[in-house]
Amino acid sequence: MINVKYVLKRDGRREPFDRRKIEYTCIKLGVPDDVARRVSLLVERRAYDGISTRELLDIVFEELAKVEPIFLEIVDLRSALGRLRSKPDFEVYARILLRSIGFKTKPNLMIKGKCLEYEVDGLAYSNGEVYIVEAKHHSNPHTYTKLEDVMAIFSKYMDIVEGFREGIHTINPAGVIIVCNTKFTEHAIRFAECKGIKLMAWRYPKSRGIEDIIRKGHLYPVSILKNLDNEEMYKLLDSGIILLMDLTKIDPSMSIGIPRCRIIQLKRKAKKVLDYLSSSPEISLRRSPELSL
Amino acid sequence: MINVKYVLKRDGRREPFDRRKIEYTCIKLGVPDDVARRVSLLVERRAYDGISTRELLDIVFEELAKVEPIFLEIVDLRSALGRLRSKPDFEVYARILLRSIGFKTKPNLMIKGKCLEYEVDGLAYSNGEVYIVEAKHHSNPHTYTKLEDVMAIFSKYMDIVEGFREGIHTINPAGVIIVCNTKFTEHAIRFAECKGIKLMAWRYPKSRGIEDIIRKGHLYPVSILKNLDNEEMYKLLDSGIILLMDLTKIDPSMSIGIPRCRIIQLKRKAKKVLDYLSSSPEISLRRSPELSL
């Protein structure tokens, strides 16, 4: 008799434990293949029937930390994105992601539509076209962005388009881009695709999701550091230190309300973590989307 | 020195206690002018600086109950509407309200838009035109319906219109009517007015809000009965007994899971309450919208 262990997914579904998914998760986290394999075996041994994916990820990080102590220093990327504040951090971060894939951006601004004046989270320029940017952030990284959210954004966008047509403003948007730290529901995706709304979200579009953009551009947010408390983190973010990369370049004598010695320590950590995460092979190329935790 | 008492409103604002508002509230509840005046004086005596509107309403009901014991039997209309379930009760109720002001209605159905298939909460017909009905219910009667909700509904409506234009279905909606048990934010109202969306909500439009429609048509929901527990209430609602009026006509031998003797008791209560609430003078005519709790 084979003893199949089931994993409880966040949406309530159960699926058989699959060691390859653990291996794949490890590889995505930047560890070499042989380490990934070893860790996946150790995790398999500790997994029990009915374990949640959250617990499983904790065990992965624990086991990885035994091989690579750097995993004591960081949280997973998905949680790191959730730690950012919706305003202004994630709006700023969304524009960083857009620039990394070739857009020019402008910060948030107010635009008058036909009916109302709206705040938009940025403008993005590419090939002579301008797009309205909407940053959609959930502090719980497992909250889906719903159809209603996308429909509301579409109404806002259309009203801004009408505002242009009626000569109320001079921005003639070619479309709207929603940058989101979480996933979209299936209905939300179908609606967006049908209306020509561009989505940049967790694992969407496949193999060009924000996690891929972040890994390729080494655009890890400072919130990936585990032992950075919120107060310190907000001081960094408020001073424009959004990325680990920014932190590695920080001048320790900057007066941002964090002691110089702590800044030096954080800078060193950031460098170590960034070097580690950036040294990983080009993961996205050998990625199989169905094999992920 | 005059000792002004302030009342803490639900939105956090403070305003001076105004006895006329209490008087007006009482009149709206159907009591004669002289009783309203007497009660307002008693309430004024019991009010203290910093009292919340919720407490004030409780005191109004307590004092009213001393003059008219019927007020021991009922909750205020706003809370009564909140007690209904969003689905299906409030959807059914919304259609009852629409019929009372001259629409013909059809129940909820699925309609394919250009992009997606949507559930709409009903269709309303008047003067050869058909409207999409959206019922928006909040169990907390003080939750505002926001701009984003109206924008999402507008997108859905527009997509249904596109569905018609592309020959996907045969319903050619002339507009959308949102029936809501609470208030809308100012932005939501401005957007709706600009886009031609009809709103039927608490105190909107002024002097034709749903509370006026309910009073004029004696369309009090059974949820206005105070000593009706949720289990009993859902049994009534599930059997199609939505209004106090329906309850007064119920056949006590109906098998809806409530003992016959209790049905008789409820029927008697319903009749008493309905007679009382319906005997009030035509309130809306002498109504001044700024004078209300």
The three-state (H, E, C) secondary structure of chain B, written as one string: CCCCCEEECCCCCEEECCHHHHHHHHHHCCCCHHHHHHHHHHHHHHCCCCEEHHHHHHHHHHHHHHHCHHHHCECCHHHHHHHCCHHHHHHHHHHHHHHHCCCEEECCEEEECCCCEEEECCEEEECCEEEEEEEECCCCCCCCECHHHHHHHHHHHHHHHHHHHCCCCCCCCCEEEEEECCCECHHHHHHHHHHCCEEEECCECCCCCHHHHHHHHCCCEHHHECCCCHHHHHHHHHCCCCEHHHHHCCCCCCCCCCCHHHHHHHHHHHHHHHHHHHCCCCCHHHCCCCCCC
Average pLDDT, chain B: 92
Tell me, yes or no, whether A55 lies in a domain: yes
In the predicted structure, residue B67 carries a pLDDT above the cut 50 = yes
A117 & A236 share domain: yes
Q: Give residue A63's pLDDT.
A: 93
Q: Which of A40, A72, A104 is the last residue in one of the domains?
A: A72
To the nearest whole Å, the CA of A14 is away from the closest chain B CA by 28
The arithmetic mean of pLDDT across residues B26-41, rounded, is 88
Reported as a single tens digit per residue, the pLDDT across B146-178 is 999 999 999 999 999 999 999 999 999 999 999
**Same domain, yes or no, for A91 and A12?**
no
Does residue A178 sit within a domain? Answer: yes
Q: How far is A68 from chain B (nearest CA, A)?
A: 46
d(CA B36, CA B221): 24
Position A290 scores a pLDDT of: 38
Alpha-carbon torsion angle B223, B98, B276, B65, nearest 10: 40
**Cβ count within 10 A of residue A268:** 12
Co-location of B96 and B188 in the same domain: yes
Model pLDDT for residues B115-130, shown as the tens digit of each residue: 999 999 999 999 999 9
- The encoded tokens of residue A282 equal 């080009």
Residue B189 banded pLDDT, cuts 50, 70, 90: very high
Residue A122 lies in a domain: yes
Residues A159 and A98 in one domain: yes
As a whole number of angstroms, the distance between CA B19 and CA B61 comes to 15
Considering the domain architecture, whether residues A55 and A172 belong to the same structural domain is answered as no
Q: Looking at residue A252, what is its pLDDT?
A: 87
- Cβ distance B190 to A116 less than 8 Å, yes or no, reads yes
pLDDT band at B281 (very low <50, low <70, confident <90, very high): low
Residues in chain A, pLDDT under 70 = 1-2, 280-293
Query: Chain B contacts of A153, Cβ < 8 Å?
Result: 151
A136, A150, A151, A157, best to mutate vs chain B, most B CBs in 10 Å:
A151
Of A117, A128, A137, A126, the closest CA to residue A178 belongs to A137
Question: What integer pLDDT is reported at residue B93 of this predicted model?
Answer: 98
Higher pLDDT, B284 or B184: B184
**Cβ within 8 Å, pair B152-A155:** yes
Q: Is residue A1 part of a domain?
A: no
What pLDDT, on the 0 to 100 scale, is given for residue B86?
97
Residues A30, A85, single domain; the answer is no
Does the residue A123 lie in any domain? Answer: yes
Strands A104-106 and A109-112: unpaired
- Looking at the structure, tell me whether residues A63 and A141 fall in a common domain: no
Among A55, A72, A89, where does a domain finish?
A72
**Cα(A69)–Cα(A113) distance, integer angstroms:** 52
Q: Is the pLDDT higher at B252 or at B267?
A: B267
B87 and B24 together in one domain: no
The pLDDT value recorded for residue B290 is 38
Distances in whole angstroms, Cα of residue B249 to Cα of each of B266, B267, B269: 11, 8, 12
Query: Which of the residues A110, A112, A114, A115 would you substitute to probe the B interface, choosing the one with the greatest number of B C-beta atoms within 10 Å?
Result: A115
Whether B23 and B67 share a structural domain: yes
With 80 as the cut, is the pLDDT of residue B283 above it? no
**In this structure, which amino acid lies at residue A204?**
Y
B1 is a domain residue: no
- Enclosing domain of residue B33: 6-72
- Using a CB–CB cut-off of 8 Å, the residues of A that contact B are 114-116, 147-149, 151-156, 158-159, 187, 190-191, 194-195
- Rounded to two decimals, the ipTM of the complex is 0.85
Count of C-beta atoms within a 10 Å radius of residue A26: 25
Residue B229 has pLDDT above 70, yes or no: yes
Nearest chain A residue to B151 by CA distance is: A152
Q: Which of B114, B155, B187 sits opposite A155 (nearest CB)?
A: B155
Instruction: Show which of B39, B72, B105 is a domain's final residue.
Output: B72
**CATH number of the domain bearing residue A93:** 3.40.1350.10
Q: Is residue A181 part of a domain?
A: yes
Same domain for A181 and A66? Answer: no
Ranking A276-285, B12-21, B224-233 by mean pLDDT, the lowest is A276-285
- The percentage of residues in chain B with a pLDDT greater than 70, rounded to a whole number, is 94
B89 and B120 belong to one structural domain = yes
A61 close to A53: Cβ distance less than 8 angstroms: no
Whole-number Å distance between alpha carbons of B84 and B89: 6
Question: Bridge partners of B177?
Answer: B133, B198
Number of domains present in the structure of chain A: 2
B102: in domain: yes
Each residue's pLDDT tens digit, B69-89 = 999 999 999 999 999 999 999
The verdict on B293 and B219 lying in the same domain is: yes
- Confidence at residue B285, expressed as pLDDT on a 0 to 100 scale: 40
